[in-house]
Amino acid sequence: MQRSNLFLSLAFYVAIALLGGCGGGGAQATPPLPAPTGPTPLKVTMAGGTLALPASGGYSGTLQLPTSNAPTGTTMTIAAANAVPTGAPTPQTLPRPHDLRSPRAIALPNVLYVLTIQVSQNVTFGSIPSFSIQLPAGISTVNEAFFIAVFSGESAQSPLLASLGPATISGSTLGFAGSSTPLTLDAGVTYLVELYDVATGATATPSPVPSSSPTAAPTAAPSPTAAPTAAPSPSSPAAGTLYALSDGSAYTFGAFAPGANGNVAPLASFNASIQSPTGIAVDATGRAYVVGYSVTGTQILSYAYGASGNAVPSTTLTTDINAWALGIDPVTDDLVATDANNNIVEYFAPGANGSATPVKTISGANTGLNLPYQVAFDGSDNIYVVNGNGFGSVVEYAAGATGNATPIATIGGNLTGLDGPEALAVDSTGRIYVGNSVNDTITVYPPGSNGNVAPSAILQGGSYDFLIDQALIAVDASNDLYVYGRTNEIEVFAPVTGSPQAPIRTITGSSTGLAYAEGVAIVP
């Protein structure tokens, strides 16, 4: 999908607020300060208060600082610019914060407003602050979502410290709710805050298209409203039924029979009225769950087995988390969602609807969560989570883990081959598959792997007819590996125990309805 200047500006403002004014709001909040126009040392107090953001290019706003442990005399210096420093990270280098690889992403994010923030002494804020951003006149918010990215440093490899959004939009004002996640800023580090936007529909105003951006339209787009060739039985589906989430002219689900191969029609297809989907999961009854974003925030929608056409969701779970990927606990049937922005894994009861409260969460300093994306479970109900920050890692928790749990195993280090990992699958033997978005590989690790271990096998996207990108992968009960790439096909590999081999099956062709990959899941 497209990124607009507006979105980048927002990210930038929010980031500045995030890094610069992380004190805490309360009864003793001070009135807003005049908007500075140059590098300005601002006093940071333990009480917090309201901070006026620097005005530039027509953007302005305020930041509500949370409480902090700021030592007496601590200052925060904020400078504003209209471009990122040379070599600095930008949202286009993030591991697909919100569907960057969609075929609608004909324009990469353009940074409109950038804040650099420095503190004179180390400060820990009790939470991430909230923001209100005023957009310049003439900026359209139609079919646009807004986010903020905060980087801990100015080099291209600087880690993503925080991500906020999507913003609530009221006229030309963007609102970003804070979160309970603590935020620490260290003296001597230059923090970068970027405001950016993402187009969520065809009418959004496009950003300038970089010459290197892929603009080719897909060869054939499926019709999202076409009636299914054959409707599935209303009863539970067979184990191994494959669900694929595509992005053609709309977001479309297709359910394929176990063993499907070649140019086959799905058992059923139906389209979903969602925006920016980032994950799909399916339980043993065939109920499909998809996480996406709307103008009202994050939504997790579910569709009962047998849905077809323009289906109405059975449930709509709205949460205060920024869910990224989904999984199903095989023992409890709980729906599991990762919150990459706040480093949280949340469990929801089966059938949770509305503003349901999670039944448990995994979060805290001991968890090792760092931009968590996909989750997976092994035969002992241990949960695995792939972290996308930096070169990435895979953390494993014991069955039933909750709270500030310590991993029982962590795969990470220079020997692992991990590079921007986003997708994850674990087969019945405990073999671990990780999809890496940067080096376009799937790395495979033996059961029980822990530490800085080399993979037992590597599938290179260029060696086969798929592009990993987000590396959408799943395994079935026979331990066959399914890979859904951007070439409008799903490739199936026999269990990868050593040297990779050619796919044993490939689902592709005009009858499949497959378009650009958004998700893949298999009925257990």
- Residue 247: Cβ within 10 Å count: 25
Terminal C-alpha separation, the chain: 32
SS3 of 99-136: CCCCCCCCCCCCCCCEEEEEECCCEEECCECEEEEECC
Instruction: Determine the pLDDT at residue 143.
Output: 67
For 141, counting Cβ atoms within 10 Å of its Cβ (0-12 exposed, 13-18 middle, 19+ buried), the class is buried
Instruction: Determine the pLDDT at residue 5.
Output: 36
Does pLDDT of 374 surpass 50?
Answer: yes
Q: Worst-scoring range by mean pLDDT, 80-84, 202-206, 316-320, 363-367?
A: 202-206
pTM to 2 decimal places: 0.60
Alpha carbons 505 and 231: distance in angstroms, whole number:
24
Pair 455, 439: CB distance under 8 Å = no
Q: Where on the phi/psi map is residue 345: left (φ > 0), alpha (ψ -120 to 50), or beta?
A: beta
At 446, list the tokens: 């033996």
Alpha carbons 195 and 14: distance in angstroms, whole number:
6
> How confident is the model over 452-461, as pLDDT tens digits?
999 999 888 7
Does pLDDT of 1 surpass 50?
Answer: no
Structural domains in the chain, sorted by start: 5-199 (no CATH), 242-349+356-522 (2.120.10.30)
Backbone angles phi, psi at 126, to 5 degrees: -65, -20
β-sheet bridge partners, residue 118: 77
Pair 521, 246: CB distance under 8 Å = no
Alpha carbons 354 and 357: distance in angstroms, whole number:
9
Alpha carbons 278 and 263: distance in angstroms, whole number:
26
Pair 427, 495: CB distance under 8 Å = yes
Q: Worst-scoring range by mean pLDDT, 63-67, 196-200, 292-296, 503-507?
A: 292-296
Residues 6+ apart with CB under 8 A from 474: 242, 425, 481, 482, 520, 521, 522
Does pLDDT of 477 surpass 70?
Answer: yes
> What's the alpha-carbon Rg for the chain, to the nearest Å?
23
Pairing label, strands 268-272, 191-199: unpaired
Instruction: Determine the pLDDT at residue 314.
Output: 86
Distances (CA, A) of 44 to 26, 72, 178: 14, 8, 18
Alpha carbons 132 and 53: distance in angstroms, whole number:
9
3-state SS class at 462: helix
| CA angle (221, 521, 371) in 5-degree steps | 100
Alpha carbons 217 and 219: distance in angstroms, whole number:
6
- Residue 504: Cβ within 10 Å count: 12
Q: Worst-scoring range by mean pLDDT, 143-157, 254-268, 412-426?
A: 143-157
Higher-pLDDT residue of 50, 275? 50
pLDDT band at 26; cut points 50, 70, 90: very low
Pairing label, strands 144-151, 191-199: antiparallel
> How confident is the model over 90-139, as pLDDT tens digits?
765 333 433 333 333 333 456 777 888 889 999 998 888 888 888 888 88
3-state SS class at 477: coil
Element (H, E) at 16: helix 5-20
Alpha carbons 485 and 85: distance in angstroms, whole number:
34
β-sheet bridge partners, residue 336: 327, 347
Q: Could you please report the per-residue DSSP string of 269-331?
A: EEEE--EEEEEEEE-TT--EEEEEEETTEEEEEEE-TT--BSPPPSEEEE-SS-EEEEEE-TT
